[in-house]
Structures are given as C-alpha cells and as structure tokens.
Amino acid sequence: MDRKPSVVPFLLIAFTFFLSLTPSLPALLPKSQTLILNRLPSPPQSLSWTDADDESQPLASIAVGDLESPDSAAAASSSSIFSVQLHHVDALSSNRTPQELFGSRLLRDASRVESIQSAVSAAAGGRGGAGAGFSSSVISGLAQGSGEYFTRLGVGTPPKNVYMVLDTGSDVVWLQCAPCKKCYSQADPVFDPRRSSSYSRIPCDAPLCRRLDSPGCNSGNQTCLYQVSYGDGSFTYGDFSTETLTFRRTRVPRVAVGCGHDNEGLFVGAAGLMGLGRGKLSFPSQTGQRFNRKFSYCLVDRSASSKPSSMMFGDRAVSRTARFTPLVSNPSLDTFYYVELLGISVGGTRVPGIRAELFKLDPAGNGGVIVDSGTSVTRLTRPAYVSLRDAFRVGAVTLKRAPDFSLFDTCFDLSGKTEVKVPTLVLHFRGADVSLPAANYLVPVDTAGTFCFAFAGTMGGLSIIGNIQQQGFRVVFDLAGSRIGFAPRGCV
C-alpha cells in the first residue's frame, strides 16, 4: 500500500520562506521590572574637579580656526576630544534639606517649561524672530531657574576658573565681567577682561556680530554689543567678544562670548551660561568643525550614585551602543533639539491612546517633542499624558496610593519597603526604542517613602523629554549626522 506524501515538510519550507520575507519582529517587551527604593539625594559637602586646577599639567591648545571663516577650521586634521565633569546645581546649596531642594527644583522646572513654551509660541507666531535671545533664568536656588547642570572651566589667559551652567535650550555663551554696572553674587571673583591677553572685542561690522538676533554697536569704539533677555524679565548686556576657554587642560581659543557688565534679575551662583543649543552662536556650533559637531552627556542618578555626571566633545562622544533617532528642524526656531516620538509602551504593551499625531511638529513650528537638559520632569501634551498615566496606574494597581504631590497626580506610599515591582516603560522614537530604568519614572519626593510617577501633562502642543528620564543614558548629539542617540548604562 502506497503511503501518501506528508505535507509537514512542505509546510515547514513554506513557513521558512514566509519568515524570510517578513521584517524581523521586535522581541517581546518585559511587563515589569524591579525598582530599588533610594532616598532623595543630599547635596555633597564639597565639590571635586578632576584636573580643574592642576597647573603642573601642560595645556593642549585646540585651534578652532577663524570663526568668521569656517573653511579654515575645516582644514584641521582630525577631530579633537575633551571631557568635563558636570554637577547638579543643588550642589551649590549644601545648607538645604533634600526635600527643600526637590521643591525648588520643581518650581524652577515649571518656570522653565513655561518660558520654553512662550518662546516656541512667539517664534511660531512670528513675534520676536527665531530665538529672540530666549532662555529662562539661569541659576540654581531660585523659583525661576534654568540649566540644571554646571561645570568648572577657565576663562581668559591666564585662565580664571569659574562655574558655568550648561544648557541645551540656549545658544549664546556669556559670563559676568568687570567693571560691573550691575552684577549678581557669584561663587568666584567676577572675570576681568582687562587682565586677559586673549580677550578681544568684536567689531560692529564683523559677521560674528551680525549673527546675534539683535546686535548693538558701541558708537565710541565701533565694537559689538549683545543683550540676552529672559522670560522672567532678567537680562544680561555687555560687549560681544572672543576669548579663550580652558576645559580641564584643553584650551579652546577665539570663542564668541558675551561679556556682561549689566546683569539684572534672578541670577545667583555661577558666573554665566554656556549655550549648547542648535543655534549658530552656541558652543557646539562655533567649535563644530574641530569637534566634528558631536557631543554627549551622561547624567547620573544622584539618589543612587555619588559619581559626577560628565560631558564629552568630539568623535569619542558617540557611543557605540547608542540607538539613534533623526533630528527634526523647527523652521521658526533653531535652538531646540526636536525628535519624533511615535508612541509609548507600558507593561510591555503599546498604549492605544498615544499616537504619533499627538507629537507632530507642524509647518508653523507648533507642537513637536524636544530633548532638553534643563527641564527635569518630562512633559507630554495632555491627551498623551492622560493615556500614559492611566496605563501606568493599571499596571501599578498593587501599590498603595498616596496623595498628589506638587505637579504629580500619581503617587504611592512605599514606606517600609526596599524594592517593588513596577510596569516597564519604553519610549518609541523613530528608529530607537528607549527602555527606561524604573528609577527614571518613579522618583522619591520626600523622606517619608512617597514616590511619584515623574511625568506631567501640558495644555500646550509641545512635549519635552526631561533630564530625570535621561538619567543613566549617554545622550549623544551628533549634529553632523543630524541625529540624537541614547546609550543605556552610559555613565560608566
């Protein structure tokens, strides 16, 4: 009796062929992960800066070329590299309790978000022009502050070490200068350009002066004047000049710097601000030819580590493990780093109510998503936030709820516990799925064991990825490749 041919081999061959034609499916996302419960971080009693004041080491000079003529910088051979330590601005307030510092951080955060939204709305509406000298107030310890991380660098020749806030939401580099018409209190002596051999004022007719949004001119000596105004009414005004900046033992000459003789408003602590935005006068743009327009930072979770955060410039700033998403341009405003957010998963499942349309940047410059170093808590447009929050509440139903805290409406009483299971959370950018550690979205808010879901909603169309969600990742800004990358466990 003849046996009928088996259909099993045929089915196996057909299934294998089908798989070869089908795009690879993403691995199943885990539904939960463990959160180790750490306390609110306390500020360090003292700050240490590796190589910051080591005069025994020789200076390495980086010729960035004539900033008026980018082609001369392009002639430089290979990309230079350097790195600096970063500290959170709370380190300048060692006499305050962790809970007081966290409360101040949330107040600063609300002010910054409001200022960013105002700047975007003004640019989209054609009021004030692109950038319009925007930033919010700069320094720690006040209700209206911007730039959560600072470094220590040398200004001038010989270099005088000062604290400078670093901010991806600003462009102009500036610091207080003597003689002061009005200067706020800062930790170090005010920089005096008359004692620097590398200081040089910029002529009014120079291309660098024309790159300012609203340049002025000193009629007496025909040198360029700058003014940067902030959303809270504070401002800095003075001479627009070039000067040498020294990062640890690396010297970067001829950086365009605002030398502020009149600095009024809510500024306290650091000497000034280093703009790291996408605008043409930011530090990465000015030195981009030499550093191949690449930089990255890694912000540590201060509740779990005493190790300082860090920032790196040059080709080595690009981590090999980073997952990249393309940068998107806002035609009305060139300062901010826009990306495409397509969706969010909670507990291994895409949240149905969070669609890519909620995060679209329209042709007028409204909406969109930016990655920002100076905003702490991620803000999502209100419909997306409500869907995310509700999905997280369902996944965390076994955790004991606590009253709302400040801007947080989803909090839990985890007192007496050392760890808990929480739903996973993944941000789906175009081309990059970023799985967040549990400590990046459930954070301590007091000393009594209250933890809150560290996202918030906004009534505007703009969404902002904040630095709490960026903790532990090396965030790579590859401007040459027009992309941003996220490398997990990047602070090692």
Whole-number Å distance between alpha carbons of 388 and 350: 10
Tokens 């997990």: give the residue.
Answer: 488
Residue 372 a catalytic site member: yes
Q: Which of 90, 109, 167, 232 is catalytic?
A: 167
Which residue has tokens 């709370």?
Answer: 90
Identity (one letter) of the amino acid at 68?
Answer: E
Judged by DSSP in three states, 45 sits in: coil
Tally Cβ neighbours within 10 Å of residue 457: 18
Query: 243 in helix, strand or coil?
Result: strand
> Helix %, strand %, coil % for the chain, to 5?
20, 35, 50
Please report, in angstroms and rounded to a whole number, the separation of the first and last CA atoms in the chain: 70
String of DSSP letters for 304-320: T--SPEEEEESGGGS-T
Rounded CA separation 10/362 (Å): 51
Is-catalytic flag, 53? no
Other Cβ atoms less than 10 A from the Cβ of 119: the count is 24
Residue with tokens 């054609």: 126
* Residue entry with tokens 């270099």: 159
Query: Of these residues, 109, 372, 446, 478, which one is catalytic?
Result: 372
Q: Which residues are catalytic?
A: 167, 372
